[in-house]
């Protein structure tokens, strides 16, 4: 009596599985092309970060902290933090993780900012995308690893694919919010002087919405870092792999060092990207 009636059965799982099978059968070439592009971008960023010696990259990070955050103490702190990662023996792994994060953010912005602009200019588009963004942000992050594995197999590409899906919603939302909250008087003044819709967007709305958009970039970057670590479960090398190894071997010290290295990268990335949202 108290059990849910069996007659009410919605075969959602079967429908999703059928849709995945159709995609794998008919769009195999498309996913191969997408995977090739993603892999080349990731390898490019990775080659740059691994090519730069630590004694050059650390001072550059310190300089960025000083100039962007606005405090010389921040630059010194960033340098000490990166030296700490090197002292753990995780420099190369940290650079690989950083490359995955930067590549994920690159693709997320490439997708997210145009979609955010489209949402801001169309109520219908916002009504369609809003539930999808809600689902993307509330869905457990491990779920994204399943279709990524089916489409691309093991390695960096599926980790990147899952990371992009997980990290792109904040920049879409905040681009939309930033443009919609631009004062109407500013838009009307530009239109009164004969500005075209494209000029209104590029010369008025986007500059005034920049703080909100940069907060979206900051949130997307932090979510990408969190998901890239989980991506190590499907073959993405980096600091996340060291955490998984430490868990499997029950080595607390190794896990703490790898986890602390991830925290250091997160702090540095957060402070630098957040500084852009405060610039006038």
- Comparing 186-195, 225-234, 246-255, the range with the smallest average pLDDT is 225-234
Residue 203 contacts by C-beta under 8 Å, 6 or more apart in sequence? 190, 195
**pLDDT, position 115:** 94
Give me the mean pLDDT over the 27-53 stretch.
89
- Worst-scoring range by mean pLDDT, 5-9, 35-39, 143-147, 154-158? 5-9
pLDDT reading at 280 higher than 70? no
Average pLDDT over residues 76-92: 93
pLDDT greater at residue 278 or residue 94? 94
pLDDT on residue 279 = 53
Q: Which of 97-106, 109-118, 242-251, 259-268 has the lowest mean pLDDT?
A: 242-251
**pLDDT band at residue 225, thresholds of 50, 70 and 90?**
confident
pLDDT at residue 101 is higher than 80: yes
User: What is the per-residue pLDDT for 173?
Assistant: 94
Q: Which domains does the chain have, with CATH numbers?
A: 12-51+89-278 (1.10.3720.10)
Written in H, E and C, the secondary structure of 168-217 is: CHHHHHHHHHHHHCCCHHHHHHHHHCCCCHHHHHHHHHHHHHHHHHHHHH
Q: How does residue 1 score in pLDDT terms, banded at 50, 70 and 90?
A: low
What integer is the mean pLDDT of 200-228? 89
- State pLDDT tens for residues 54-73: 999 999 999 988 888 878 88
Confidence check: pLDDT of 26 > 60:
yes
> Which pLDDT does position 57 carry in this prediction?
92
**pLDDT at site 111:** 94
Q: What is the mean predicted confidence (pLDDT) over 262-279?
A: 83
- Tell me, what's the pLDDT at 155? 83
Question: Does pTM surpass 0.85?
Answer: yes
Percent of the chain with pLDDT over 70: 99
Provide mean pLDDT across the span 231-249: 83
């Amino acid at each position: 009596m108290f059990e849910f009636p069996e007659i009410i059965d919605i075969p959602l799982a079967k429908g999703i599985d059928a849709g995945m099978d159709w995609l794998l059968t008919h769009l195999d070439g498309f996913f191969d092309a997408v995977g090739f592009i993603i892999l080349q971008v990731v390898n490019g960023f990775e080659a740059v970060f691994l090519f730069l010696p630590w004694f050059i990259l650390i001072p550059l990070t310190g300089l960025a902290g000083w100039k962007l955050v606005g405090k010389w103490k921040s630059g010194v702190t960033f340098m000490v933090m990166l030296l700490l990662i090197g002292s753990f023996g995780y420099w190369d792994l940290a650079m690989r993780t950083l490359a995955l994060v930067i590549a994920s953010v690159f693709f997320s912005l490439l997708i997210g900012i145009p979609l955010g602009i489209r949402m801001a200019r169309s109520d219908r588009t916002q009504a369609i995308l809003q539930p999808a963004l809600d689902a993307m942000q509330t869905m457990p992050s491990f779920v994204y690893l399943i279709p990524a594995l089916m489409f691309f197999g093991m390695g960096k590409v599926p980790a990147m694919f899952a990371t992009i899906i997980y990290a792109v919603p904040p920049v879409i939302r905040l681009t939309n919010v930033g443009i919609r909250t631009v004062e109407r008087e500013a838009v009307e003044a530009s239109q009164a002087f004969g500005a075209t819709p494209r000029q209104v967007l590029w010369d008025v709305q986007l500059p005034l919405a920049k703080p909100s958009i940069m907060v979206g970039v900051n949130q997307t970057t932090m979510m990408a870092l969190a998901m890239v670590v989980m991506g190590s479960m499907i073959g993405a090398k980096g600091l996340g792999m060291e955490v998984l190894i430490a868990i499997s071997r029950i080595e607390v010290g190794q896990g703490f060092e790898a986890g602390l290295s991830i925290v250091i990268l997160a702090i540095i990335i957060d402070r630098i990207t957040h500084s852009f949202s405060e610039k006038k």
